[in-house]
Structure 1
Amino acid sequence: MNAKTIFSRPSSHYQLCMAFGVFIHRSDSIYDDTPAERYQFPRQYLERARACVGDWIVYYEPRKVADSKGYYAVAKVEGVIADPSMPNMYLALIEPGSYLDFATPVPFADENGPIERGVLNEVGRISGRAQAAVRGLSSSDFTRIVAAGLVDENPLLPRTDFAAVEPVLREEQVPFIFDEVRERVAAIVSRVVRDRVFRRIVLRAYDERCAVTGLKLINGGGRAEVEAAHIRPVEANGPDIVSNGLALSGTAHWMFDRGLIGLDDNMRIIVSRQANDPDSIRSVINASGRILAPQRGADRPHPQFVRWHREHCFKH
């Protein structure tokens, strides 16, 4: 059965839920979804999706998907419109800059049962509601899922010198423990938290290896000498999603941000004609001439972000 097939439940059950929600999405979806920008759904979910406008939803990948990520991201719904390209379909528009991949994907259940308690029926069994592609989410379930998603059990130490930032490093080791919904929301909108999470998900996807040079360098303090670069910058509404990221060494990051190197549609590394020493740049590019991309297809640079960088940053 398709992940977005509706199950019969009284609509009043959903009306009791708060404005938070769950959107089911899978990387091989037949729907025109771009999680950081829009979510496509049929008419039967319209009321539930509209209830989430102005509030946060959690993305969930079904357990039947191989290597499912479970609950893997949060985003804020800016609005809901009719899909202009397809009758009886609608789009939930995601507020620019709100999407955030979790540092640690959250499984559907643990030893205590489903983390989303709302999927249980009156006798404590998992109901058909767990299969609904769009469903309401209680504030307690939202805070529980987000708390688990933001915790990083194996945080990557930043490249910055340890002695200079020792208090910051200690702070990064502290688990995210909050008591209120507003503190969860404050965490997911914080640029400090977002940068930390983005670095974790990008470096993990690239195995802490520079996508351009191919080098994987760990310094004496155990810190990876590689940075997480946004392909489309945050300042230009680039989302904090792994497919908008590259793991780059400091020099490669500097060149990428300044448009001296870029990517073509086949992920080949291109060098700007305006570079003053193109031969030296080419000498540090790995032998394949392409970026060393993540194994998981959904983690690889999305063509739309690559195209944006080439059109707005790369010096032709």
Structure 2
Amino acid sequence: MVKLVLLHKANSIYEDEPDVVYDFPRSYLRAIEEAVGDWIVYYEPVKAGPKGYFAVAKISDVIPKPNAEGRFLARIEPGSFLPFDRDVPRLVDGSPLETALMEPDGSPKKGGLVQLAVRRLPEEDFARIVNLGLPEELEQIEATRYDPNGGTFDDSAAPFERPVLERLTRRPYRDVAFRRKVREAYGYRCALSGLMLRNGGGRPEVQAAHIRPVDKQGSDSVRNGLALSGTLHWMFDRGLISIADDCETILVSHNKVPGEVVSRLLSPDGRLLKPEDPRDAPHPENLKWHRENVFGRVLTDEPAPWG
């Protein structure tokens, strides 16, 4: 197996959705087949946008692209995609993070390998990029963000490689990374009410909800997330509310939700608040999954939080 850098341009068609599948030509087939079962890093080229290295994922398998001679699809292992907490630039202090793109004096190479959409990535380079994009101490950063005494962590030393692998697979770490990205994408406002609620210490009360749950093959992509208040998160997970196929209109199970609750909790215009960056908007396929598999079905007998 081998780790790779995969170039991805924003606003790609669905067949090139980073948390689902990567569309590529035959010329890269051998390299990507070698990476099956291993991790890749996504990179947005400078000419396509400002992100740089922006996420990791694991390739599960490779299949021919239907009705497209000479093209293939690398399918992403469900639950492996994770956006970086902070985008990582190609150059740090003037030198590339990929050693293959570096001249002997540390300056960046030009042309050739730099232009490839698929590049092999040594383990050391992979660890360096992940450490910058997903800091080992991210959970502590989040726990003490509004309360300097809010977190207690084991500060004992750990081997260099172990934290990198752990943070990519450990659910508590991934939950923190997902929550930070989703809440930031919506400006810390609830996507269904439009309200920004903060407690006395200034901590945002908005939560991060998976549209398609991780245990149902949902990803940790921001496009599979909604920033929601606690009550609306509860209602969304239990199928009392959803989003229509226009990706804007809020759907309500009116036979289960009192009218006064609707008027009190939801945005007056009945429309979803969109993220600040349109590229972070909920993916239509994720919203469709929620409508077809969750909406209208009461998934619990718990008493409603407004009762």
Band of TM-score, shorter chain = 0.7 to 0.9
| Aligned counterpart for 2:275 among listed residues 278, 294, 297 | 294
- Equivalence map 1:103-118=2 (5 Å): 103-118=85-100
Indicate yes or no: 2:78 matched with 1:129. Answer: no
Q: For the residues of structure 1 that align with 2:5 and 2:245, how far apart are their CA atoms?
A: 33
**Alpha-carbon shift at residue 180 of structure 1 (Å):** 3.5
Give the 3 Å change call, closer, same or farther, for CA 42–31 of structure 1 in structure 2.
farther
- 1:82-121 equivalence runs, <5 A: 82-121=64-103
Q: Displaced runs of 4+ in structure 1, greater than 6 A?
A: none
Tell me the secondary structure at the aligned position of residue 16 of structure 2: coil
Confirm or deny that 1:240 pairs with 2:220: yes
Q: Which residue of 2 aligns with 1:27?
A: 10
Distance 1:112 1:41, change over 3 A: same
Q: Are the equivalent residues in 1 in contact too, given 2:64–2:73 (CA < 8 A)?
A: yes
Please report how far the alpha carbon of residue 153 of structure 1 lies from its aligned counterpart in structure 2 after TM superposition: 11
Query: What TM-score, normalized to structure 1?
Result: 0.85
- For residues 249-271 of structure 1, the C-alpha deviation after alignment (integer angstroms, 9 at most, x for no partner) is 00010000011110002221110
Which residue of 242, 247, 251 corresponds with 1:262?
Answer: 242
Q: Paired residue for 1:204?
A: 184
User: SS of the residue aligned with 1:32?
Assistant: helix
The answer to whether the 8 A contact 1:256-1:262 is kept is yes
Report the equivalent of 2:304: none
Output one character per residue of 1:110-151: Cα deviation in whole Å (capped at 9) or x when no partner: 215112222124564424212211110000100000011112
Higher mean C-alpha deviation, range 201-210 or range 179-188 = 179-188
Alignment: residue pair count: 291
Q: Is 1:312 equivalent to 2:293 in the alignment?
A: yes
The 3-state SS of whatever aligns with 2:203 is coil
Structure 2 counterpart of 1:203, one-letter code = R
Tell me what 2:25 maps to. Answer: 42
1:162-190 superposed Cα distances (whole Å, 9 cap, x missing partner): 79xx66x2439x8xx96443431221100
Question: Aligned partner of 1:300: which letter?
Answer: A
Partner of 1:142: 126
Distance 2:295 2:194 in 1: 21
3-state SS of 2:231 partner: helix
Q: 1:129 to 1:58 in 2, by over 3 A?
A: same
Letter in 2 for 1:100: L
Q: Work out the CA distance in 2 between the residues paired with 1:69 and 1:180.
A: 26
Displacement of 1:290? 0.9
Unaligned runs of at least 5 residues, structure 1? 1-17
**1:35-54 CA deviation, whole Å, 9 max, x = no partner?**
11110100001111111111
- 8 Å contact 2:10–2:48 — kept in the other structure? no
**8 A Cα contact 2:139 2:173, kept in partner:** no
Q: Structure 2: how far apart are the matches of 1:23 and 1:30?
A: 16
- Which residue in 2 is equivalent to 1:4? none
Say if 1:171 and 1:209 are closer, same or farther in 2 by CA, change over 3 A.
farther
SS at match of 2:286: helix
Following the alignment from structure 1 to structure 2, what is the Cα–Cα distance between the partners of residues 244 and 218?
Answer: 24
| Separation in 1, partners of 2:264, 2:281 | 24
After TM superposition, the score normalised by the length of structure 2 is 0.87
Assess, with a 3 A threshold, how the Cα gap between structure 1 residues 256 and 158 changes in structure 2: closer, same or farther: farther
- Deviation of 1:157 after TM superposition, in Å, equals 4.6
Deviation at 1:85, TM superposition (A): 2.5
Question: Aligned partners of 1:222, 1:22: CA distance in 2, in Å?
Answer: 39
- Name the structure 2 match of 1:10: none
Q: Which residue is equivalent to 1:80? A: 62
Determine the C-alpha separation between the residues in 2 that align with 1:180 and 1:270. Answer: 48
Comparing 144-153 with 215-224, greater Cα deviation is found at: 144-153
Give the RMSD, CA atoms, in angstroms. 2.6
Which segments of 5 or more consecutive residues in structure 2 lack a partner in the other structure?
A: 298-307
Identical amino acids, percent of aligned pairs:
45
2:35 is the alignment partner of 1:52: yes
